[in-house]
Chain A
């Protein structure tokens, strides 16, 4: 069974631009969660989508948004990029029930200059 895939793997953007990242979950998984990973803050939860609905949300500004499609693939968007948005963005998929294992993708390394 294929794992979680994320595209693109690397991205360089300029401050003020916007960016869209994509995540394809493991086949059969209906939940996709997004995390921001930085050296100083560790893994910070952004949001979780289940059956095309946002089910949980972390403490990030409204510039960070996401959506999920009927095939469970998910995208996250960051508008008006800031230098501090430079990070590894990870998505994780699970079946969607409580206490389910989450499986991570390789991440998208975003650099904002």
Chain B
């Protein structure tokens, strides 16, 4: 089955800096890659996604890049703000969703 891994369990950045969270996957048949943000006491919120026929997607301060050859995709957050502090989950999907274990991002004011 699919295996999804996050490179960093925690990440701290200064407010205004950029944050990059990288995720790897094992199944080359996976073709949909969403990123979720989970704040304390809430369910995961879909923030951006990318499909395998696209290399990059951007939505304001958030972007996702996909490298199908290397089987990894990354979440990029620019001009980070304290409210970006949360746990971020990546997922890979073929027939079902496989989630990584999450990266806890802390933005220091």
Give me the interface of A with B, judged by CB distance under 8 Å.
Answer: 4, 33, 35, 41-43, 45, 48, 56, 58, 90, 92, 98-99, 101-107
User: Complex formed: what's the CA distance from A42 to B51 in Å?
Assistant: 23
Q: Identify which of A48, A58, A90 contacts B44 (C-beta below 8 A).
A: A90
A43-B44, A101-B46, A104-B44 given; name 10 further pairs at CB < 8 Å: A35-B99, A42-B89, A42-B100, A42-B102, A43-B102, A56-B95, A56-B96, A92-B97, A102-B46, A107-B42
Chain B interface size band reads 20 to 34
Interface residues of B (CB under 8 A from A): 31-32, 34, 36, 41-46, 49, 51, 89, 91, 93, 95-102
Can you list 15 A-B contacts with CB-CB less than 8 angstroms, sorted by A residue number? A33-B96, A33-B97, A35-B99, A42-B99, A42-B102, A43-B44, A45-B98, A56-B96, A98-B32, A99-B32, A101-B34, A103-B46, A104-B36, A106-B41, A106-B43
For the complex formed, measure the closest distance between the CB of A8 and the CB atoms of chain B, giving whole angstroms: 14
A99 partner, pick from B41, B45, B46, B51, beta carbons under 8 A: B51
Please name all residues of chain B whose beta carbon is closer than 8 Å to the beta carbon of A98 when the two chains form the complex.
32, 95
